[in-house]
A and B are shown apart, each in its own frame.
Chain A
Amino acid sequence: MNNPDSDLLLQATGLTKTFGDFTAVDGIDFAVERGESFGFLGPNGAGKSSTMKMVGCVSPVTGGVLRVFGKDPATHGPQIRARLGVVPQKDTLDEELTVQENLWIYGRYFGLSRNEVRSRATELLAFAQLTDRARSKVEPLSGGMRRRLTIARCLISRPEILLLDEPTTGLDPQARHVLWDRLFRLKRSGVTLVLTTHYMDEAEQLCDRLVVMDHGKIVAQGSPRSLITQYSTREVLELRFDTDDHGHHGDAIAGIGERIEVLPDRLLVYAEDGDAAAAAVHLRGVEPLSYLVRRSTLEDVFLHLTGRTLVD
């Protein structure tokens, strides 16, 4: 932990953040190694962003120990930030300036020379697929383009860790896939990714390992696959009925599968074999409006752990 070149890039023990009486992060432990892609999955208000801000050295730690590159954010903020690339939840681009000016100015904050900044900016604009918009102002850019510019901007210092706070929230599906592709390339090139998300598909796509957070605490951790194996079944049967209250259909199918969850708009039957469960429902004479058999996802893990869905 005292060796700054160790491959343990992030280490938190009993990490806590309070704002007055409110505890945003409640004594969490985690560690991230070089080259990993690590995620914080949880609903809004789970404490993910507060954790990211502490790691980014812009929010003082209230309690516990946090080390980034083996250093203490309280005493080595600027040195740590020099090695981080931060993609905040809300874009902080300068809308009055052009795309390339945003990169140039940002690179200068890291103490890079003008020439260095310009040559890296050209390379990064190509990576972010923004070369033909280099001289355009930021203001008219789409949400997806702004996000890619924000990522290009934070890469100008060649960071060792990329901190991504809800990188694709608010983007359309097409823009999300483009962004995931870019992040995946970075991961393959050896950048350590640390991200927060409330999308389980994003966590499954990008994270080697993740922690599930709820109310400031870590409620589970592991790889996406191991979490699903541990907390869910292989398949899920979704049933929709022509009713406002799905609760009373729960009794009719009790005992089918391993577990049943009642949601406002559907019933979930957790089973190793979804088709067999569907056949069992049919045998009981229950007639839902629709059947859907799918694989288990992290959403199911979260639902099982907290009784709530991720995105409400």
Chain B
Amino acid sequence: MDASVSTPTPPRTLTATPGSAPWRPVFGSWVTAYKRTWRGSIFGRFLSPLLFLLSMGLGLGNLVNKSAGGVAGVPYLHFVVPGILAAQAMWVAMGESTYPVMGAIRWNMKYHAMLATPVGIDDILIGHLTYVAMQVTGATAIFMGVAALFGSFSSWWVLLALPITVLTGMAFAVPIFAFSAKQESDGGFNILFRFIMTPLFLLSGTFFPIGQLPAFLRPIAWVTPLWHGVDANRSLALGSPHIAGVLGHAAYLVLVIVVGALLARHTFTRRLLR
């Protein structure tokens, strides 16, 4: 044993006082972890819009334009890209709020480590969700940049689609946080992917107007966040936004986020402090 090693500075004095905003180091820890994997992640963020634009915008788009003259009087590319933008945010948000949350509870115990410090449940939620919002923002900005290069947008109003899309993503992320904190295994995530996310992706007006849906399916589109994001984005990207409509959609998304946050606080507390 190395006897020369000194014992660290003894305690006795109160040195550590809780920081004014303990959610910041929580956010910082997720960013630190991301620094290890960002290269692969950024590559995927560019690849995904490219594939969508090539297949839906150009491939399917040419067919739709030739046979139907576009959708609602605009080329299919202009119609579909704002919708996919919102749907993409949903997928990114889901990826960030399922396995990472369950992992932080069950596998790497990241949340437990935080709770051994002055960090509390609210700090964990705010810090982690801020990180998710950063991911959704980054993915959305990249998607919009690539889509703009393909000439997908016809108006500068589309810049407002960025905050709307981030709200759409968070309207999924926050309730899914509440859901993930209750899971004992990833079985629940498979149900979420197959029976909720995939149908929403296909039926929320992303690829065709929801007016094409059977009447009994339309209310599903109205209550879930994705359609609100898709509809608001589309009206912004096409350059003739109905401002009250866009604000209404945004208000609904905020409401989902607030309700989701209350649920998440409840399930996190039940799971982590018992």
**Interface of A with B (CB < 8 Å)?**
19, 56, 58-60, 77-79, 81-84, 86, 88, 90-97, 101, 105-106, 108-112, 120, 123-124, 126-127, 129, 154-155, 157-160, 178, 181, 185-186, 188-191
Contact = CB atoms under 8 A, between A and B. Distances in A.
B266 interface: no
* 4 pairs of A and B residues whose beta carbons are closest in the complex: A111-B19, A108-B25, A109-B117, A86-B116
A58 B25 contact: no
Given A124-B8, A158-B15, A81 B117 contact: yes
Query: Could you say which of B2, B20, B26, B116 has the most chain A C-beta atoms within 10 Å of its C-beta?
Result: B116
B17 interface: yes
A96 B103 CA distance: 13
B116 A58 contact: yes
Measured as residues with beta carbon below 8 angstroms from the partner, the interface class of chain B is 35 or more
12 contacts: A19-B274, A58-B116, A77-B120, A78-B120, A83-B16, A105-B28, A111-B16, A111-B17, A157-B16, A158-B10, A185-B7, A190-B10
Contacts of B115: 58, 81
Query: Could you say which of A105, A106, A124 has the most chain B C-beta atoms within 10 Å of its C-beta?
Result: A105
Contacts of B215: none
A79 B15 contact: no
A160 to B, nearest CB: 5
B113 A82 contact: no
Interface of B: 1-2, 5-20, 22, 25-26, 28-29, 32-33, 36, 108-110, 112-120, 272-274
B29 A189 contact: no
B16 to A, nearest CB: 4
B273 A78 contact: no
B273 A58 contact: yes
Contact of B2 (A82, A91, A129, A186): A129
A77 B273 CA distance: 11
B33 A106 contact: no
Contact of A82 (B1, B5, B17): B17
Nearest to B107: A95
Contacts of A97: 32-33, 36
B7 A160 contact: no
A110 B18 contact: yes
A83 B14 contact: yes
Contact of A111 (B8, B11, B18): B18
B11 A101 contact: no
A70 to B, nearest CB: 13
Contacts of A95: 108
B25 A105 contact: yes
A88 B112 CA distance: 9
Contacts of B19: 110-111
A78 B20 CA distance: 12
A69 to B, nearest CB: 10
B246 to A, nearest CB: 39
Query: Could you say which of B1, B15, B114 has the most chain A C-beta atoms within 10 Å of its C-beta?
Result: B15
B29 A108 contact: yes
Contacts of A191: 10-11
Contacts of A101: 32
Contacts of A111: 16-20, 22, 25, 118
B272 A58 contact: yes
Contacts of B1: 178, 181
A160 B13 CA distance: 8
A267 B7 CA distance: 44
A92 B9 contact: no
Contacts of A188: 7
A45 to B, nearest CB: 17
A78 B15 contact: no
Given A59-B273, A127-B6, A158 B118 contact: no
Contacts of A77: 120
A118 to B, nearest CB: 14
B233 to A, nearest CB: 35
B33 A110 contact: no
Contacts of A105: 25, 28-29, 32
Contacts of A124: 8
Contacts of B36: 96-97
